Amino acid sequence: MRILLVEDERKVASFIARALREHTYAVDVADTGERGLEMALEAAYDAIILDVRLPGMSGIEVCERLRRAGLETPILMLTARTLVEQRVEGLDAGADDYLTKPFALAELAARVRALIRRGVGHGAAILRFADLELDRRRRRAKRSGASIALTSKEFALLEFLLVRAPNPITRSEIIEHVWDCHFDSGTNLVEVYVRRLREKIDGEGSLRLIHTVRGVGYRLGLPE
C-alpha cells in the first residue's frame, strides 16, 4: 500500500516516513501543499497523511481541493494543536480522521491501518485465500498454518495480490501501490519480487496460488 505524506518539517516527515516504511508501506513525501495536491492527483495512493500547518496552501485547503476534484482516497489530518475548531475544520474539509501532534508512532500506524481498511475494497485485518493467511496487524504470513518469513516489500506485494484476489493486477498497478515514486520502472524488480514471493508461498507440494496472466500481469487465485 502506498501513502502520500504532506509535511513541510523535514525532520518530522522523515521520522514518520521511516516508521511507515517499517510497516511495509511505500511512502512519498511532499513538502508543500501545492506539491501534495499535484502528487495526490497524479498517482494512486491508498491513503494521504496531511499536515494542517503548511507554508502557502494549508492542509485544509489541500483537502478541500482534493475532495472537490472527486478524489476519495482516505485522508488523515495532522493537527498541531488540540483546538477543536481545527479538527472540525479538517473534518468539514473532507478528512476522514485526524491526529493531534505530538503523537506516538504506534498510534499513527494504527490510524493509517484503519483508514486503509475503510478505503474502498481493502478488506479486513486478516486477508485469506485458500490456506494462505496474511495478518496485516502483526505483519505475518502463514500457509497451511506454517509461518512464512517475508521481507517488507514481499509482504506489501502479497498484500496487494490478496486485496485484489482472484482478479489479476498489472505490473504498473504493482509499481504504483507497492513502490514509491523513486522506483525505476525500467528494472525487472517486479519480476524478481514475484519470483521470490512464489518460492516462499508456493513451495513444494502446495497448490500454486500466484499465477502469471499473459499480457496482463499476475493474479493470486486457484489454478485454472
Q: How far is the CB of 15 from Ca ion (least distance, A)?
A: 13
Q: Which is nearer to Ca ion, 77 or 190 (CB)?
A: 77
Closest residue to Ca ion, Cβ-based?
A: 53
Smallest gap from residue 9 Cβ to Ca ion (A): 5
For Ca ion, give the closer residue by CB, 4 or 163. 4
Minimum distance from CB of 188 to Ca ion (Å)?
A: 39
Nearer to Ca ion, 50 or 158 (CB): 50
**Which stretches within 102-147 are classed as H helix?**
105-118
- Nearest distance in Å: CB 83, Ca ion: 15
Residue 138: burial class (beta carbons within 10 Å; 0-12, 13-18, 19+): exposed
Which of these, 198, 130, 188, 122, lies nearest to 160 by C-alpha position? 122
Give the helix/strand (H/E) hosting 41.
Answer: helix 33-42
Query: Locate cell 482516497: which residue?
Result: 73
Question: Which residues of this chain interact with Ca ion, rule CB under 5 A?
Answer: 8, 51, 53
> What is the C-alpha separation between 148 and 140, in angstroms, rounded?
7
Residue closer to Ca ion, measured from CB, 53 or 113: 53
